[in-house]
Structure 1
Amino acid sequence: MTARTDEIARFLASHGYHAWTQTLLAGDASTRRYRRLTGDSGQTVILMDWPPDTGGDTRPFVELANYLTGLNISAPRILAQDHESGLLVIEDLGDALFTQAIAAQPRMENTLYRAATDLLVHLHQAPVPELSPLTPRVLAEMTGLAFTEYRRAVKGQSNDMARSHFEDQFEEILRESLTGDMVFVHRDYHAENLIWLPDRDGLRRVGVIDFQDARAGHCSYDLVSLLQDARRDVPTRIETDMIDRYIEATGIDEVAFRRAYAVVGVQRNMRILGIFARLSQTFGKRHYIDFVPRVWSHFERGLSHPALETVADAVLDVLPEPNADTLERLRA
């Protein structure tokens, strides 16, 4: 028995879960590990294992889970916690990720996306907890990963001059485009972090996970995350309808919102290009490169908006298109 295994066993025993059977669940892009615990009568909970020595900090998850459940949103309830050890027992919301629910019942796709969009409308009306803000400068600097990770993996160097110049120009575009009050931003609000709970009512049918990195930011951010999904193709019809739905429900200025949506789309997808390159190159998670052409398509489409015309050509000249050779280098 390893020291970590022993630590987990003590934690579970202290909260009455020592006799429950454990099943390892598929992980995500982080250092977190999850196990489903099953009791004698079939009841289940989830063990989150996020060791502090790997950078884990379970406190934000607990604080934000409590915030979301306080808004009548279906985040996992916290059942047991030991922050010093990086261990939580949380409510099991099941396995019906939107991705799987749609695959099982394709006709439900529009219903699920409508529900997820309506949840954002509800969330954006709530007071924002104390969160670090996604300021124009922060967002601009986040795009640097496209140069330092994605471009460097393909070309062998990052072109720091081009990166710095782009960030400065892009910061001004962000500053002009992202107007209005900040809202709660999940930052990874997509079909593999949303769980369909059909036995619940209204907005509570949407289970929300993986929110521990939330920030305060522009209201378009999570809608971009939902509709420009890196991992699955969201039909154009649904993307268009959900943008219209959000605008109508909130009464936000349509022209300003569509501009912000395009600009945030460019920002987010540039960052994802860098993250996926790093996951492949540094951590050996080559399957993330399969998503790069889709991410690039979102990025390129966003650049076609007039708000990006001053930077579009230059950034496309510097960042390599994901052709067969590029993808091979990213997997190397």
Structure 2
Amino acid sequence: MTVRLPEGVKPFLEAAAWGDAAIEPLAGDASFRRYFRIRAESGATAMLMDAPPPHEDPRPFLHVAKYLCGAGFRAPQILAEDLARGLVLIEDFGDDRMREHIDAHPEDEVAIYTHAVDTLVRLAKAPVAQLAAYDAAAYLRETALLAEWYLPAMGIATDVAEYEAIWREALAPLCENKWQQVTVLRDYHAENIMLLSDGEQGLIDFQDALAGHPAYDLVSILQDARRDVSPELEAAMLDHYRREAAVSPDFDLHYALLGAQRNAKIIGIFTRLWKRDGKERYLSFLPRMWGLLERDLAHPGLVKVRDWFDRTIPQEIRASSPLDLVA
């Protein structure tokens, strides 16, 4: 099959001194972005991000990448950019992703997760990037996705205003300014961490970063939507984080609350990817997401949120696939 190359890519690469390079397409993700490996005749490689406007805007990625590199984190170096076409040439971190490496070398799991958690400890101590705040409006837009996409797909009618009010009350403590002082990458998990040849871990897919709570990215990696993380490993990594970072007395409550918020959001997003975008494979992740959400809702501080879920979405519905209802 012929791969459609981004418009203007040849002159872009020529201007960046990569005019002789071969262009190799790579697998895409859940967005409109596409990636290509650029391989020069010398053997040097780089990555080309195609983030075509108006669907994508590469400026947030560039902003966060430059912040991370400036703060001593391993984000890709920016080699060239064309904002009008949405083309960005970046450092190539290779193909050794955390997820596949651990699947092939499970004996490395603890060490790799410890390194990833240490990155979050460093982020919590670093000056926050200039970013929008992870505020009540952002949290509630995300929790609304479950009501907007998942509930209709499962044939469930609900009082959306009540749903929002319950989340607004639960999340209110996290919307104070003191919890908007850490750079939150927001999609920090085993498929977005690259293992580099020098032993460091490379960060990718951080264009949606916000200034928010330090526990959010911890939830993201320890309650991974795409990979099972054992409760034992999660507990060990939480203990490690508590030892290395300055955590508040309410840290465990905040972790569970952010886990519930994030997992409810992802259930909505994965349903949307099926209904709107035809990406049925994301439905296979829903059982994992429900298991994680129920674990978070078991925290005593989330009783009102848990009661809403218990009243609205019975266990037999949670255990069902939306495909069972449309078959």
* TM-score class normalised by the smaller sequence: over 0.9
Question: What is the CA–CA distance in structure 2 between the aligned matches of 1:16 and 1:192, rounded to whole Å?
Answer: 30
Alignment match, 1:128: 128
Distance (whole Å) between structure 1 residues aligned to residue 211 and residue 171 of structure 2:
15
Match of 1:173, as an amino acid? A
| Residues 24, 35 of structure 1: 8 Å contact kept | yes
Q: Which runs of 5+ in 1 are unaligned?
A: none
Q: How far apart in 2 are the matches of 1:326 and 1:36?
A: 37
**1:15 paired residue number:** 16
Q: CA RMSD in A?
A: 2.0
Give per-residue Cα distances to partners, 1:157-192, cap 9 Å, x unaligned. Answer: 653x2x221221221221235664421111100000
Distance 2:4 2:224 in 1: 39
TM-score, with structure 1 as normaliser = 0.92
* C-alpha contact 1:50 1:56 (8 A) present in aligned 2: yes
| Paired residue type of 2:201 | V
- Is 1:268 equivalent to 2:262 in the alignment? yes
- Kept in 2: contact 1:265–1:299 (CA 8 A): yes
For the 8 Å contact 1:280–1:287, the answer to whether it is kept is yes
Amino acid in structure 2 at the alignment position of 1:64: V
Q: Against the structure 1 CA distance between its residues 170 and 17, is the aligned structure 2 distance closer, same or farther, given a 3 Å change threshold?
A: same
Q: Deviations over 1:209-258 (max 9, x none)?
A: 000000111111000000000101012111001111111111313x4100
Residue 234 of structure 2 is matched in structure 1 by 239
Aligned equivalent of 2:44: 43
Partner of 2:104: 104
Secondary structure of the residue that 1:301 maps to in structure 2? helix
Contact 1:177 1:263 in 2 (8 A): no
Residue 327 (structure 1) shift? 4.6
Normalized against structure 2, the TM-score is what? 0.93
The residue that corresponds to 1:328 in the other structure is: 324
Matched residues in 2 for 1:288 and 1:120: separation? 27
Q: Which residue of 2 is the match for residue 191 of structure 1? A: 190
Runs of 4+ in 1 over 4 A off after TM superposition: 1-6
Q: In the alignment, which residue of structure 2 is the partner of 1:219?
A: 214
1:176 maps to 173
Does residue 59 of structure 2 align to residue 63 of structure 1?
no
Greater Cα shift, 127-136 or 173-182 = 173-182
Q: Is contact 1:50-1:86 (8 Å) kept?
A: yes
Q: Tell me the equivalent position of 1:306.
A: 300
- TM-aligned CA deviation for residue 325 of structure 1: 4.8
Number of residue equivalences: 322
Q: Which residue of 1 aligns with 2:32?
A: 31
Distance change (3 Å), C-alpha of 1:62 and 1:137:
closer
- 1:207 matched to 2:208? The reply is no
Q: Deviations over 1:122-144 (max 9, x none)?
A: 01111112211111343133201
The aligned residue for residue 73 of structure 1 is 73
How far apart are 1:290 and its partner, in Å? 0.7
Query: For residue 20 of structure 2, what is the amino acid of its counterpart?
Result: A
CA change 1:310–1:5 in 2 (3 A) is: closer
